[in-house]
């Protein structure tokens, strides 16, 4: 067990300070569970509301408080790009700098860069991963469906966008990251077990390609 992914416990960047504090405290039990299971982190969301800068401040406040609690248990609090402003790499990097706590970091996900699903607005995934990697304590290799003619590429059929895993892993390694890379399959053409195994094979081919240099 490496981490617990936490959802539905309230907005850590809630505009209401009391609700924000409640959201922080709602995560305490997950920190304790992660400690019991031998994890290094809990993964949380940086959900907030307000202007760009207001959300930086509010998310940073909630994350700082939760990270301070996590530190007492030797646990990290890591944030995934998971929609809204959290899928804006520049914004989440600013939040990390504002938190400025060694136990707070990011979990860059290769595919979660839709800043507005309704308008189909996407942040550049390669730019976003590069911006989040300096704070990364975990990495999520998100895959969709596979294109046989491009064995190191997965296709997000919802948006016709491609993820070049070789390019992504070069970004990950350039940041000095040598930890675990998790796999998350969200495709539709094969089942989850098969999709996960196929993604693992892509990562193994990427590893072999990178080791040549």
pLDDT digits (tens, 9 = 90+) for 116-155: 877 888 999 999 999 999 999 999 999 999 988 888 999 9
Rounded Cα distance, 77 and 44, in Å: 7
By the 10 Å C-beta count (0-12 exposed, 13-18 middle, 19+ buried), 7 is classed as: exposed
Rounded Cα distance, 77 and 66, in Å: 7
| Ordered domains of the chain (ranges, CATH) | 1-137 (3.20.20.150), 142-179+186-213 (no CATH)
Rounded Cα distance, 104 and 135, in Å: 8
Rounded Cα distance, 206 and 202, in Å: 6
Q: What is the pLDDT of residue 213?
A: 67
pLDDT digits (tens, 9 = 90+) for 21-46: 999 999 999 999 999 999 999 999 99
Share of the chain above pLDDT 70, in %: 100
Q: What is the pLDDT of residue 148?
A: 85
Average pLDDT over residues 47-62: 97
Q: What is the pLDDT of residue 66?
A: 98
pLDDT at 161 over 90: no
Show the 3-state SS of 62-111: HHHHHHHHHHCCCCEEEEECCCHHHHCHHHHHHHHHHHCCCCEEEECECC
pLDDT digits (tens, 9 = 90+) for 175-213: 999 999 999 999 999 999 999 999 999 999 999 999 986
pTM of the model: 0.94
Rounded Cα distance, 153 and 97, in Å: 32
The DSSP call for residue 133 is G
């Amino acid at each position: 067990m490496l981490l617990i992914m936490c959802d539905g416990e309230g907005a850590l960047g809630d505009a209401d300070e009391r609700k924000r504090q409640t959201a922080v405290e709602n995560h305490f039990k997950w920190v304790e569970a992660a400690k019991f299971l031998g994890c290094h982190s809990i993964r949380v969301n940086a959900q907030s509301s307000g202007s760009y800068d207001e959300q930086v401040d509010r998310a940073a406040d909630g994350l700082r408080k939760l990270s301070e609690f996590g530190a007492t248990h030797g646990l990290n609090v890591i944030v995934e790009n998971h929609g809204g402003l959290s899928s804006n790499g520049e914004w989440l990097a600013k939040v990390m700098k504002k938190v400025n706590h060694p136990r707070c970091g990011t979990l860059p996900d290769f595919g979660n860069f839709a800043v507005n699903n309704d308008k189909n607005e996407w942040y550049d995934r390669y730019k976003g991963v590069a911006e989040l990697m300096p704070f990364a304590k975990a990495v999520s290799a998100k895959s969709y469906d596979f294109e046989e003619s491009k064995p190191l590429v997965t296709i997000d059929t919802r948006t016709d966008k491609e993820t070049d895993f070789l390019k992504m892993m070069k970004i990950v390694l350039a940041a000095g990251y040598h930890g675990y890379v998790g796999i998350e399959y969200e495709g539709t053409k094969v089942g989850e077990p098969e999709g996960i195994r196929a993604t693992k094979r892509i990562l193994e081919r990427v590893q072999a390609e990178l080791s040549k240099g």
